[in-house]
Structure 1
Amino acid sequence: MYWYAMKSHDIRHNLATEQYLMNNKKFDEPLVLFYYEGPCIIVGRNQNTLEEINQKYVEEHNITVTRRLSGGGAVYQDLGNLCFSFVVDSDSEEFGDFKSFVQPVVDALHAMGATTAEVSGRNDILVDGKKFSGNAMYSHSGKTFSHGTLMLDVDQDVIAHALNVPEDKMKSKGIKSVRSRVTNLKPYLAPEYQNLTVPEFRDTLLKELFQVKDLKAIADKEVTINDDEKVAIDEIYNNWDWVYGNSPEFTVKKRQHFTAGTIDARLLVEGGKIKNLKFYGDFFGPADATELADKLTGVRYDREHVGAILDSVDTQQYFNGIPTAEVLDLLVD
């Protein structure tokens, strides 16, 4: 087995590296990857990004949002989480057989004291009945990767805010995430492992997986990436179309009563952009709100781009007595 511990803490770069190694490198043995990153949300291949995230909270807290190639639900990660990924020939494992992929990790965690860790359900790893790891899988060109999370010491308070979207605000054909009761792994490890940093935790897992006492013993199994490969990796993931543009078509209903009247906005969003917008309500204004709706059609459905349009017009002409900032909050929050 080969291994690679990523140096980057940017989820986009790490997922791009995973994809590149899977599609462009040939290995005569399985490959295991480890990576960890700053605050981020990763949505599944078939999900509607905007339906899964609290966009205002995400933007205010500088949380990176990206999409992965594999299916499954949205997950929040920070520097207290360790990701692992196994890359194998597609014919060596049955697609969807998560247990065979993650069992070596579970065995290593048992050796570190988390003896109640177990594979459960479709793609989770639990400890004492609580989820600390979700896993997903993807196959392409004769290769399969199965990657998962290990919540060692994640800030769980952020999860509830960053992934909290009221169900009645949005309807789409995207695959919804199922929220589970989650926990950090740290308290379940043996005392001598509870103060490990994430890189120390990673290295301990590597040694358990390879059954060695020092990583120097497996230095010849470490993968290297040259400068040309780094350039190719950088070009893969960091683009808006992949994260938002691939989202399924969805509809949004936003209604709010203001002192100066009620605005009821109905939006159809496709490819991450406003395809259709209608304003209803008992608001007043000397101009027809349809004009504003037309200006917003074709615009990216996010705070930055919708806000730019609203700032470029006199919204009092459409919604007299209602501040522009509050119209923006209504449309995109």
Structure 2
Amino acid sequence: MQYYIMKSRDIRDNLATEQYLMNSPKIKLPMMLFYIEKPCIIVGRNQNTVEEINQAYCQEHDITVTRRLSGGGAMYQDLGNLCFSMIMPADQARFGNFAQLVQPVLLALHRMGAKKATVTGRNDIEIAGKKFSGNSMYTRQGRTFSHGTLMYRVDTTAVAQALRVPHDKIASKGIKSVRSRVTNIEPYLDRQYRGLSTDQFRDELVKQIWQVGDLGQIKKAAYELSAADRNAIAELRRRFYDNWDWVYGRSPMFTVQKRRHFTAGTIDARFLVEDGYIQSVKIYGDFFGTRDVVEVAEALKDVPYQPAAISRTLQQLKLNDYFMGIPQNEVIELLAQQH
């Protein structure tokens, strides 16, 4: 298994590097990536950025905001957080099976003392009922890519201030706030793994994953970027992660909002209706899917804004491809309901 440790502390560089390596024919699968970054928020592919973040707080505290290719919810990260990614052939990794792709990290944490850490819910790793890792997944061109966070020593106050977690999502988990639901993993590790810098924690984790005493023993497994690689990564950063249209998008004036939190994620649909016909639809949320929800929006365009017409259109689609784990009839019920 190959690995690459990113030197940049900028989330935009690191997401561009992930995207490039995922599609590069030069890497040998499976491959793991590790990176640390300055304060930032990464929203999921299908989310409405403006509604997910506290814009004023982010500007005041110089928090970078960008969007990733995969679904799921918004994540706050700072220099106390370690990110990890796994790239595998799609035929060896079932989409949505986070437990499989985070297994090397979970076993390493167990060896480091956090023996009660478990994969829970759709895509979290928790300990003592609190989340310290969120994960997301993306699949394209025969490869499946999963990336996640590891809160080692994150400022949990900033998590609560920077993100706007909807009340229905918090209520569904039986908690009072986002801060009460998260924790750092450091206190649960054996004493020798506490008090480390995040870089040192990363190195110890890598050694545990590969079961070696020194990183020099796996030097041949380390990937090195070429000049051509770096140029391609810089172009991806420009096209996506530094691109205002990609990160924020141009939101039309929606006249109808349909939102519901399901066990497998939240769907938030905005309809613009004129003369009884659907002119446009934007679908946001932290759900996962193997297909782009833009296709659902396109199918609904110019459809009469009537429950029967909307239902007929949606019944022709395999909605689980777009909203994995949410029953088709429940998606149709939400999107076809009238206000």
Structure 1 length normalisation: TM-score? 0.70
Percent of aligned pairs sharing the same letter: 60
Give the C-alpha shift of residue 11 in structure 1.
0.3
Change (3 A) 1:134 1:250: farther
Unaligned runs of 5+ in 1: 169-177, 253-267, 271-333
Q: Aligned with 1:245: secondary structure?
A: coil
Determine the structure 2 residue equivalent to 1:262. Answer: none
**Which residue of the partner structure matches residue 247 of structure 2?**
243
Q: Secondary structure at the match of 1:51?
A: helix
Shift of 1:27: 3.3
- Distance 1:183-1:227 versus aligned 2 partners, 3 A rule: same
Paired with 1:164 and 1:143, the residues of 2 have a C-alpha distance of: 32
**Residue 103 (structure 1) aligned with residue 107 (structure 2):** no
Answer yes or no: is the 8 Å Cα contact 2:124–2:133 preserved in 1: yes
Q: CA deviation at 1:195?
A: 1.1
Gaps of 5+ in 2: 169-176, 257-269, 273-339
Residues 165 and 114 (structure 1 numbering): CA distance in 2 closer, same or farther, change over 3 Å?
Answer: closer
C-alpha contact 1:46 1:247 (8 A) present in aligned 2: no
- CA deviation string 1:106-139 (max 9, x = no partner): 1100111111101111110001111000000000
Q: Which amino acid aligns with 1:43?
A: V
- Are 1:142 and 2:123 counterparts? no
User: Greater CA radius of gyration, 1 or 2?
Assistant: 1
User: Partner of 2:44 in structure 1?
Assistant: 44
Moved over 6 A (4+): 165-168, 246-249
Contact persistence 1:132–1:151 (CA under 8 A): yes
- Asked whether the 8 Å contact 1:108–1:205 carries over to 2, the reply is yes
Letter in 2 for 1:29: L
Aligned pairs for 1:309-328 within 5 A: none
**Residues 269, 17 of structure 1: alpha-carbon distance in 2 compared, 3 angstrom cutoff:** farther
Distance 1:140 1:248 in 2: 29
Query: Does structure 2 retain, via aligned residues, the 8 Å contact 1:47–1:247?
Result: no
C-alpha distance in 2 between matches for 1:165 and 1:188:
26
Alpha-carbon distance in 2 for matches of 1:49, 1:3: 31
2:75 is the alignment partner of 1:75: yes
- Paired residues in the alignment total 247
- 1:91 match: 91
Secondary structure at the aligned position of 1:235 is classed as helix
Match of 1:157 in 2: 157
Q: 1:115 to 1:167 in 2, by over 3 A?
A: closer
Residue 3 of structure 1 aligns to a residue whose secondary structure is strand
Q: Tell me the alpha carbon deviations over residues 53-96 of structure 1, each in whole angstroms, 9 at most, x when there is no partner.
A: 01111111110000001100001000000000000111111111
Letter in 2 for 1:238: D
| Alpha-carbon distance, 1:235 to partner | 1.8
Alpha-carbon distance in structure 2 between the residues aligned to 1:50 and 1:220: 43
State the distance in 2 between where 1:46 and 1:209 align: 32
In 2, are the aligned partners of 1:49 and 1:247 still within 8 Å (CA)?
A: no
1:26 is paired with a residue whose SS is: coil
Is the Cα–Cα contact under 8 Å of residues 29 and 87 in structure 2 kept in the other structure?
no
Corresponding residue number in structure 1 for 2:184: 184
Pair 1:228–1:128, CA change in 2 (3 A): same
Matches within 5 A, 1:203-214: 203-214=203-214
- Between the aligned partners of 1:83 and 1:199, the Cα distance in structure 2 is 11
